[in-house]
Amino acid sequence: MSAQILDGREVAAAVKARVAEDVAEMAAAGVTIGLATLLVGDDPASHVYVSYKHKDAKAVGIVSIDVKLPGSATQEEVFAAVDDLNARDDVTGMIVQLPLPDGLDGEAAVERVLPSKDADGLHPYNLGKMVLGRPGPLPATPSGVMTILSHYGIETAGRTAVVVGRSFLVGKPMGLLLGAKGADATVIQAHSRTPNLAATCRQADILVTAVGRPGLFTSEFVKPGAVVIDVGTNRTDDGLVGDVAFDDVVDVASAITPVPGGVGPMTRASLLTNTVSLARAAMAGGRN
């Protein structure tokens, strides 16, 4: 039997509709929400991602502010641009588009962002709050995965989740969210040093792949009936593909996210949710 397709575009559209309502409500109360992006250099994929973020923001009524620096920018110039956005009242949230060009420290740039304006939820302060289970902006991709699971009524409590990948952007926070109180999955965090990866993955009721290797996860990695969430986004000659060999796995899994159209749109939607939450917290005068 073929797996249920978890349609990220459809879920993201529902999230965006709710965000647009929130933005309109806040506008009526006199609050303008401004999302800034800082893009350094000429990486074509980063330019595309940033343009999507502006398009999404505009579509829900968020003012978007586009700051670009040349690839020759120094770390100090990057910090100065972040400081400028931190100081602007019209910027209620911001994103430093990663990766930065070689020679620049992206993590240091993210750390320079005020935690109260950290729309990506990647500032160490906000990551720390996530570890403590306190409210704050969450990393957009793992947060988007939790939203899609919840939207389709996929139970996480009492189930075994295997997350492959341990980056601070995706894998690590994904494991933390699935294992957090309330989600209550039992989490196995796998990575490039995990012996016998296929056998480890076959333990999963919920398998999340965040590796960046096209088609690595064949049916051999999937327990029959598992839910498969493919975070991988790989540009190949055949176009954009995930980490999962979709055509092979779709007959084994009970539910699966496609690439494109699965986790990607959810990441973008989560960014908007974070942006509104930050503006709301600023309006309430609280720290995030």
Of 32, 75, 167, 203, the residue at the interface with ligand NAP (CB under 6 A) is 167
Question: Measured in Å, how far apart are the chain's first and last C-alpha atoms?
Answer: 45
Q: Which region among 18-26, 62-70, 129-137, 165-173 touches ligand NAP (by CB under 6 A)?
A: 165-173
Q: Should residue 170 be labelled a site residue for ligand NAP when binding is judged by CB under 6 A?
A: yes
Q: Does 203 bind ligand NAP (CB under 6 A)?
A: no
Site for ligand NAP, residues 89 to 148, rule: CB under 6 A: 141
Specify burial of residue 103 (Cβ count, 10 A radius: 0-12, 13-18, 19+). Answer: exposed
Q: Please identify which of the residues 22, 56, 118, 120 carries the catalytic annotation.
A: 120
212 binds ligand NAP (CB under 6 A): yes
Q: Please identify, among the stretches 83-91, 117-125, 209-217, 221-229, the one whose residues bind ligand NAP according to the rule CB under 6 A.
A: 209-217
Please enumerate, as own/partner, the contacts of 20-26 that have beta carbons within 8 Å and a separation of 24 or more.
Answer: 20/59, 20/60, 20/61, 22/276, 22/280, 23/60, 23/61, 23/62, 23/276, 24/61, 26/276, 26/279, 26/280, 26/283
DSSP SS3 for 119 = coil
97 classed as catalytic:
yes
Told to judge if 120 belongs to the known catalytic residues of this protein, a careful annotator would answer yes
Q: Mask of contacts with ligand NAP, 214-253, x by CB under 6 A? A: -----------------xxxx-------------------
Contact 133, 179 (CB under 8 A): no
Shortest distance in whole angstroms from residue 157 CB to ligand NAP = 25
Question: Which CB, 6 or 91, lies closer to ligand NAP?
Answer: 6
Strands (E) in the chain, as ranges, are 4-5, 34-40, 63-69, 93-96, 160-164, 186-190, 206-209, 227-230, 234-236, 239-241, 255-256
Token duo for residue 211 = 């590796």
From residue 18, alpha-carbon distances to 7, 44, 87, 191, 271 in Å are 17, 31, 29, 36, 13
- Give yes or no: 247 in active site: no
Q: Which is nearer to ligand NAP, 180 or 240 (CB)?
A: 240
- Is 267 one of the binding residues for ligand NAP (CB under 6 A)? yes
* Residue 264 within binding range of ligand NAP, rule CB under 6 A: yes
Binding site for ligand NAP (CB under 6 A): 141, 164-167, 169-171, 191-193, 197, 210-213, 231-234, 263-264, 267
Catalytic residues: 53, 97, 120
